[in-house]
Structure 1
């Protein structure tokens, strides 16, 4: 199956004089700047949203295998690595973005990061066929063009029992998530961006939320 090429990301509205950097907000490399390459139209997950996400996840990701299908600046990948993830595979079709991620990973000695330049859908399809599985998948594709609708079923196939998917979208995807056998553990909104934490049933078939004491919003 031939996968369509990923369109360029729609850039956020920039503030005059704004820095093209974000920072790792927690873990081993807290406060480390992450460069955002010029001209890539990247849309890094804002600090406040990342802080909320990792509060939802419980801060520590010790020993987890993670996949970042549309890595962009690598903000989510570096955040996961900083918080103890065992392996973080990060995909992006932009060579500039992947080069930037590799450079910072080498500087930090972040050997758990595996940056790959390529098509997200093609890689996900191949990984699913090969039986590769992850505990946590980040899914923050370009808005519009129904990327979530195309990617979410593949992301589900890549999850281990009890795994989770983080999704950013321009609208809520609660019905789509439930239709793909997922539980909406958390859902919030920052401006025009909806962000979600979705949970896959555990090995015992239970649909319980793996986040202790959490309730969907």
Structure 2
């Protein structure tokens, strides 16, 4: 492991409320803020119980771990950076001894999307702001059956519904500071 400074973010709801997620400080890694997570999980309230979730560009793991804390049936975390993926797995093992409901995959998101056929009820997409366009990832995902129902997007500029895949309906969207976030429904 590299000697990056360790950071933490707190889980804000569910059975693990108040517990810390530890992660390694990396360039471009910015956990979703508390206010945004609170709004997101209010939006998802009726859909989260036992849901199969996919956390793309997992980073700190905050979105997926928060989903598990609030009753998601399972979460698959896809994270390219080995050290970052290791910290997600460590956090999962401290919260849930079996860790059966959370699986961490160290892989490039685009490559993983092309090779997998599982279906998920909720997909979280929060790519690095300095990386590929969020729309590129959305269109790659739309070519598969991975996103069955709900897709959460987080980006550094306003989510333009005209750039989203054809069968994705932008249902809710907000801005917090310099972060834009939205919830889409796959029709």
Runs of 4+ with deviation above 4 angstroms: none
Other-structure match for 2:129? 143
Match of 1:44 among 31, 44, 48: 31
Distance in 2 between residues matched to 1:137 and 1:124, nearest whole Å:
12
What secondary structure does 2:128 align onto?
Answer: coil
Contact 1:25 1:79 in 2 (8 A): yes
Distance in 1 between residues matched to 2:131 and 2:105, nearest whole Å:
23
What secondary structure does 1:36 align onto?
Answer: strand
Contact 1:88 1:113 in 2 (8 A): yes
Other-structure match for 1:208? none
Distance in 2 between residues matched to 1:187 and 1:93, nearest whole Å:
27
Structure 1 residues 2-151: aligned runs within 5 Å:
20-58=7-45, 61-109=48-96, 110-127=99-116, 131-151=117-137
Whether 2:179 is the aligned partner of 1:193: answer yes
Q: Which has the larger radius of gyration?
A: 1
Match of 2:162 among 157, 160, 175: 175
Distance in 1 between residues matched to 2:94 and 2:151, nearest whole Å:
28
Other-structure match for 2:147? 159
Distance in 1 between residues matched to 2:76 and 2:131, nearest whole Å:
24
Other-structure match for 2:3? none
Report the TM-score, using the length of structure 2 for normalisation: 0.88
Distance in 1 between residues matched to 2:59 and 2:15, nearest whole Å:
21
Query: How far is the alpha carbon of 1:126 from its aligned partner?
Result: 0.7
Contact 2:56 2:126 in 1 (8 A): yes
| Alignment gaps of 5+ in structure 1 | 1-18, 202-217
Q: Deviations over 1:66-121 (max 9, x none)?
A: 10110000000101111111110001111111111111111111420100111011
| Alignment gaps of 5+ in structure 2 | 1-5
